Amino acid sequence: MDVRIYIPLLACLLGPVMGLPLQTVFRSLKTSGVKELTETEDIFSRILQSNQDSEKLLREGDIAIKPGRSAKKCDDCRWDKSSTGNVIVPYIMSSGYNDAEVSLIHEAMQEFETVTCVRFMPHTAEQNAINITIGYGCWSLIGRTGGIQEVSIGVGCMAKGIVQHEIIHALGFYHEHKRSDRDNYVTIMTQNINPNYLGDFIISDSDNLGLEYDYESVMHYGRYTFSNTGEETIVPKPDPSVPIGQGYGLSSLDVSKMNKLYQCDICSSLLHHPSGTVISANYPSAYPNNANCVWLIRTPSDQVSLKFDAFDLQSSPKCVSDYIKIYDGASKTSPVLLDRTCGAAKIPRLISSTNLMLIEFVSDGAVTATGFKATYNAEKCDGKFYTPSRNFTSPGYPNVYPADIDYCFLITAPAGYKIILNISDFFLEYETSCGYDYLSIFDGDNSAFPRLFHSCGNVAVPIQVSTGNTMLLQFHTDSAMEYRGFQASYTIKPLRRN
């Protein structure tokens, strides 16, 4: 078989960094009383919705206030670096989260660890730590405040982008629209802002770390935040149509700001657009010696499809010298899509099982070559269903399914409805970790949502019920051992209203 293979000053030293919006990527921690996001709703709108009944004293919508703490200056609010150069953030996590929620929080943390020097470690006896709790809403203090400090990921906050937003606050950053040079990049429409929140739009005397303004930051307010007229409160310039308030998570500049603030010695890139290019340093000239770099590709939705246009690395037995290695996920512990590869290899198109793919490149201190150039894009779903009910099957059913396919089905019900999925027949190749052939089902319209089901072999599949109006099925097969696949049907029902 194939290889399975700032910145209103860092609430400490800096200030408002990053802004955040989020689109249809989120679901609530608990579904009771939570509305579906619309196409125009961003992360910060969801945060404000979740915080509307909170009795916590909050500034700028989700920043908790610690008595006696200056919002702009402090001398000791960065997290400590270890002797290895990593920033260590001990954490405690509430036992009230279910398995899917714990997994999502860990996935949000993992992206930090892959592209920055921040490392989250379970708390033992450390004096300082973040305590991730199911509080009333989504909020955090700014920077390390001393002792055990709360980061609330409560009802309505269970989305990767929201978790990352609040953690970035705890690392020392305010919202992007507060930074000192913001008037060069956006116009604040004060006439449209609720007077009670005008103070949340005041510029801070921030250290911007020598990095440009980030419209795409996960820390940027949305276009309509705190509007009392229904009109925009933040308008980009010179082009008013520039999107702000993305809803998917960290941006590439968010990563750069954290790495610069904490002086991380790391070669990393985050690619978060629907398509793009990955190239080795200096390409098409020779790449440097002693390189150790990663590229984390995170498309807004769907799977990642990667195609190499050029590839030339130093050749060595078993690729012990220079090599590229590709993972099906956000970390080096994820399943391997392509094991160590070097020389002038012809690499087939690679498709991830989720919207995440990690590329690792290592070179030694000797011979170099021209390197590589690759393009990626979001692989779209093959089957999209909108009817109230439908029967469907894996390709080829009841005969054997094809080898080497990545196929997905997206079911969308009207707003206010949920999906009930019944898989009446299920027979795939079996492997202990289900890494060869498998079916994954997600509680939403992309793989950033909680996973409801992941299996292979010949098993009885429980009825799957969505918490919202979308459900995604991802079907993957490898190059050998094809079976008949699966037969499924679905219906829709109204969500229960309180």
Residue in the structure block whose two tokens are 């999925």: 421
Mean pLDDT of 139-152: 94
- Give the H or E element holding residue 51: helix 43-51
Span 410-458, pLDDT tens digits = 898 887 899 999 999 999 999 998 989 999 999 988 887 899 999 999 9
The strand pair at 451-455 and 406-412 is best described as unpaired
If one compares 184 and 387, the residue with the highest pLDDT of the two is: 184
Is 56 buried (19+), middle (13-18) or exposed (0-12) by CB count in 10 A?
middle
Q: Is the model's pLDDT at 321 over the cut of 70? A: yes
pTM of full prediction above 0.75: no
Q: Is the model's pLDDT at 4 over the cut of 80? A: no
CA distance 69 to 251: 28
CA distance 427 to 443: 22
- E strand segments, 328-450: 336-341, 350-351, 356-362, 371-379, 383-385, 389-393, 406-412, 417-427, 438-442
Phi first, then psi, for residue 139 (nearest 5°) are -165, 165
Span 226-284, pLDDT tens digits = 999 999 999 999 999 999 987 788 999 999 999 999 999 999 999 999 899 999 999 99
* DSSP three-state, residue 171: helix
Q: In the structure, what pLDDT confidence band is assigned to residue 77 with cuts at 50, 70 and 90? A: confident
- E strand segments, 366-416: 371-379, 383-385, 389-393, 406-412
Mean pLDDT of 74-83: 80
* DSSP three-state, residue 338: strand
Question: What is the 8-class DSSP label of residue 319?
Answer: G
Length of the chain: 498
Mean pLDDT of 89-118: 94
CA 406 to chain centre: 21
Between 17-21, 364-368, 380-384, 479-483, the lowest mean confidence (pLDDT) is in 17-21
Mean pLDDT of 327-344: 92
pLDDT of amino acid 41: 54
Tokens for 424, please give them: 């009446």
Q: Which amino acid is at 306?
A: L
CB 75 within 8 A of CB 106: no
* DSSP three-state, residue 115: helix
Span 21-55, pLDDT tens digits = 322 222 233 332 223 333 345 777 778 878 777 76
Establish how many alpha carbons lie within 13 A of residue 393's alpha carbon, considering only the half-sphere containing its beta carbon.
18
CA distance 487 to 310: 40
Q: In the structure, what pLDDT confidence band is assigned to residue 335 with cuts at 50, 70 and 90? A: confident
pLDDT of amino acid 204: 83
pLDDT of amino acid 51: 78
Instruction: Reply yes or no: is the peptide bond before residue 243 cis, omega within 30 of 0.
Output: no
* DSSP three-state, residue 45: helix
Domains and CATH numbers, the chain: 43-172 (3.40.390.10), 267-379 (2.60.120.290), 383-494 (2.60.120.290)
pLDDT of amino acid 406: 85
Across the chain, mean pLDDT equals 85
Mean pLDDT of 287-295: 96
Phi first, then psi, for residue 373 (nearest 5°) are -140, 130
- Give the H or E element holding residue 253: helix 252-261
CA distance 219 to 44: 9
Span 173-186, pLDDT tens digits = 989 999 999 999 99
* Catalytically annotated residues: 166
* DSSP three-state, residue 445: coil
* DSSP three-state, residue 113: helix
* High-pLDDT (> 90) share of the chain, %: 60
DSSP string for residues in 88-101: EEEEEE-TTS-HHH
CB 258 within 8 A of CB 168: yes
pLDDT of amino acid 66: 66
Span 470-483, pLDDT tens digits = 899 999 998 889 99
- Give the H or E element holding residue 186: strand 186-188
CA distance 10 to 175: 10
pLDDT of amino acid 136: 87
83-87 — which CB contacts under 8 Å span 24+ positions?
A: 85/117, 85/264, 85/265, 86/117, 86/118, 86/119, 87/116, 87/117, 87/118, 87/119, 87/262, 87/264
Distances (CA, A) of 498 to 54, 482, 495: 20, 46, 10
Between 14-18, 99-103, 128-132, 167-171, the lowest mean confidence (pLDDT) is in 14-18
Establish how many alpha carbons lie within 13 A of residue 176's alpha carbon, considering only the half-sphere containing its beta carbon.
32
DSSP string for residues in 463-486: PEE-SSSEEEEEEE--SS----EE
Could you give the angle at which helices 99-115 and 160-171 cross, rounded to 10 degrees? 50
pLDDT of amino acid 269: 96
Mean pLDDT of 131-159: 92
CA distance 34 to 30: 8
